[in-house]
Structure 1
Amino acid sequence: MQTMPAHAAHHNDREIETLEEFDATVSARGSLAGFRVQAVDLTDRTRELLTTSAAGALFLGCPMREEAAAKVRTDGALVFPPIPSLPFDPYRGLVYSPDELFASLTDGPDGYENTPDAVAYAWFQRTKADGDVYASMLRAVHDDSVSDALDELLAGARVVGVMGGHAMRRGTEAYEGAARLGRELARAGLTVATGGGPGAMEAANLGAYAAPYDDEMLTDALRLLAKAPLFTPSITEWATAAFEVRARWPKGGRSVGIPTWFYGHEPPNPFASHIAKYFANATREDGLLARSNAGVVFLPGAAGTVQEIFDNATPNYYESRGEPTPMVLVNRAHWTEKLPTWPLLQALARERSMESRIALVDRIEEAPAALKRLSD
């Protein structure tokens, strides 16, 4: 089973991201001096704030009573108050969960359009069109907070990225194959990370979700999902089918999805247990590949997947201090004929003597063994 750690409750830095961490720090140290407190509701911790030193502390988006805020400012702390008009928290200390992004999915006739995910996308579209520097600053703060939370989440994990197109339909052999791939990788102790969207990405996250259950569970889940094969024309129906699977098998395995509101018309998939959603697609793309420290499997895709192949190949090409991460491309005909990416990748690999770190396989079932071989 995969060993992705839970969020570190006692990480060695000076960040406080939950009320439990706040209480433990005050109890153990008797001081908040120099700590960074992110998105923790301190409304009911006025006494502690009034009696504890906060010299040099930083409070990011932490609700607190005015007397407490005045006191910590007097101590020399910086206080960035919450911004209640925003549909997201720019200072968040943790990545998202599917339940958080899809809250209100079944409330009212508008379905998905009521969810925090859809509302954040609408805000992004509106403020991007306005060119508002304040909004762009808030997006940058949010994305940096998400990156920090993702680093903490994945500390010590062996992460395998699974890349592929969003157009892969539920109910197809290709989708089932991608799901079985995700399950096998998770059962091998690896953390599956995807772009967090529909299609091949969802299938790999689904496979990781199914890893703790017997094999029959995935077969049944695939059958249930096939009734809503695509996120168009109805994201609501597509997402509702996924949550039906989650409700029937509630103790799924962990995996990571890293989607973006830049492609907000594509919803995040509900099978990634942890969702690091970004506004900036470039930050998201680079971060996903950089964190795939145990290798990347590239399933058939279009322009986006081709871009990801070379985004991953570039740091491998220039790597001078360690081993390049393994790269496995699946479906020989796709990558040599339809989109002839493999010959160029081979040419780059020969220049830097990294042929032993890339592989092309015909069938998706061969990918785990190829990845292991490249890693040994």
Structure 2
Amino acid sequence: MRKVRGRSIRVGSTSDAPRVELDDLPVDPYRTTLYTAAELYDAPVYADSLDARTYAWSLRPPTSADSLAQALHDHAVDQALTAWLAGRHLVGVMGGHELMRGERAYAEAVHLGSLLGASHTVATGGGPGAMEAANLGGRLAHVGAEALDEALAWLADTPSFRPSVDAWVSAALPVNALGDAPTLGIPTWFYGHEPPNVFATAIAKYFRNATREAILLQVCDAGIVFLPGAAGTVQEIFQDACENYYAATESVAPMVLVGRSYWTVDYPAWPLLQALARGRAMEPHVHLVDTVEEAAALVGG
């Protein structure tokens, strides 16, 4: 049982449940551990990998057995995640998937992950862009600025998973040898066209995006930093705001939006968030800053 945002979640034991025979499945619906990058990228060519095979399987018209298999799988991932979370305090980093390696904003997201990872475990949506950068920073949180610079320089030559996921993954895998601090990714096959990044040391990959979104926000008990992003990031801001709006005072977690102009002019989420927070227990815990250093000081201490 894990307490998140003032509520307790108890998950039963999948190992005790009667097993239903399900055929033609790319994944084990009764798995007991979270995924690793090596497991998802288990073939030299991405199209042959477990991740790609599972995404292709999820796109076919589902039978009742397929739906049952997906539900059992996601329940098993729930259990594995609950076990993995024991003794850890997580800080979330949300942001756009379009952010590219080699860009200044990517380097800043890596720096943010490193600052937060010094005292907490960094959690993201597990995909590319800002999520990848934060997972990388969290993974290398204890190895120093020189290693971060080395990683950024190495990755810059392969800025995106487009046009080649294989090249994107191949460029990233050697960087993992630089550090192995725990960091979490929670992606989904609902967005299977966006491959999971390899820098998360543990990957809780779900079929159901609604389940994944709710769990990602709930497990970030130490707060969440929101980097610039589009519709998905805006959704996460207000889903997290709803959690904090109704939470008991002692369970409110910090929310930090990075980029004053971005969140007041480009996508003016901040004025509405401020209005929601006014007079509530969450009011002193919502922040708008301009730098990742300010964000880390508010959340990562």
TM bin, normalised by shorter chain, reads: over 0.9
Shift of the 331–123 alpha-carbon distance from structure 1 to 2, 3 Å rule, reads: same
- The residue that corresponds to 2:220 in the other structure is 292
Alpha carbons of structure 1 residues 328 and 14: separation in structure 2 relative to 1, 3 Å: closer
Tell me which residue corresponds to 2:95.
164
Q: Is it true that 1:203 corresponds to 2:203 in the alignment?
A: no
- What RMSD in Å do the two structures reach over aligned CA positions? 1.8
Secondary structure of the residue that 1:156 maps to in structure 2? coil
The 1-side partners of 2:137 and 2:266 are apart by: 27
For 1:367 and 1:158, locate their aligned partners in 2 and report how far apart those are by CA, in whole Å.
Answer: 17
Instruction: Name 1:316's counterpart in structure 2.
Output: 244
Report the CA distance between 1:208 and its aligned residue. Answer: 1.1
User: Helix, strand or coil: the match of 1:252?
Assistant: coil
CA distance in 1, matches of 2:14, 2:63: 27
Q: Which position in structure 2 is the counterpart of 1:370?
A: 298
Structure 2: distance between partners of 1:222 and 1:287: 30
Secondary structure of the equivalent of 2:122? strand
Q: Which moved more, 1:155-164 or 1:294-303?
A: 155-164
Q: Does the 8 Å contact 2:22/2:69 carry over to 1?
A: no
Shift of 1:316: 0.7
User: Which amino acid letter does the alignment assign opposite residue 47 of structure 2?
Assistant: E
* Larger Rg computed on CA atoms: 1
Q: Is the 8 A contact 1:177 1:365 kept in 2?
A: no
Calculate the TM-score normalised by the size of structure 1. 0.74
User: What CA deviation, in whole Å up to 9, does each residue of 1:75-124 have, x standing for no partner?
Assistant: xxx4x2664521100111111001000011x2xxxx11011000000000
- One-letter code aligned to 1:102: Y
Equivalent position SS for 1:322: helix
Displacement of 1:133 after TM fit? 1.6
Q: Is this contact kept in 2: 1:331–1:364, CA < 8 A?
A: no
Match of 1:99 among 31, 38, 44: 38
The answer to whether the aligner puts 1:332 opposite 2:271 as a matched pair is no
For residues 121 and 160 of structure 1, do their structure 2 counterparts lie closer, same or farther at Cα, with a shift above 3 Å needed?
same
Aligned to 2:193: 265
Partners of 2:21 and 2:87 in 1: how far apart? Answer: 32
Secondary structure of the residue that 2:278 maps to in structure 1? helix
Compute the displacement of 1:339 (Å).
0.3
Matched with 2:180 is: 252
CA distance 1:359–1:226, change in 2 (3 Å): same
TM-score by length of 2: 0.92
| Conserved? CA contact 2:245–2:281, under 8 Å | no
CA distance in 2, matches of 1:37, 1:262: 23
Mapping of residues 113-192 of structure 1, within 5 Å: 113-126=47-60, 130-187=61-118, 189-192=119-122
TM-aligned CA deviation for residue 157 of structure 1: 1.1
Gaps of 5+ in 1: 1-12, 16-35, 39-57, 61-77
- Measure the CA separation in 2 of the matches of 1:368 and 1:308: 19
CA distance 1:124–1:14, shift in 2 (3 Å): closer
Confirm or deny: 8 A CA contact 1:194 1:288 kept in the other structure: yes
Amino acid at match of 2:147: M
* Aligned-partner SS, 2:210: helix
State the 1:237 CA deviation: 0.5
3-state SS in 1 of match to 2:190: helix
Change (3 A) 1:14 1:168: closer
Aligned partner of 1:223 among 128, 153, 160: 153
In structure 2, the gaps of 5 or more residues are 1-9
Classify the secondary structure of the residue corresponding to 1:328.
strand
* Alignment partners' CA distance in 2, 1:114 and 1:217: 32
Aligned residue type for 1:170? R
Q: Does the aligned pair in 1 maintain the 2:14–2:30 contact within 8 Å? A: no
Structure 1 CA distance for aligned equivalents of residues 91 and 144 of structure 2: 22
Residue from 225, 230, 243 that aligns with 1:302: 230
The Cα shift of 1:294 comes to: 0.3
Matched, 1:357 2:285: yes
User: What residue identity is the alignment partner of 2:74?
Assistant: D
Partners of 1:338 and 1:37 in 2: CA distance: 46
Equivalenced residues, count: 292
Q: Look up the equivalent residue of 2:163 and give its one-letter code.
A: P
How many angstroms apart in 1 are the aligned matches of 2:254 and 2:224? 6
Q: Percent identity?
A: 51
Aligned AA (1:280): R
1:153 aligned partner, one-letter code: W
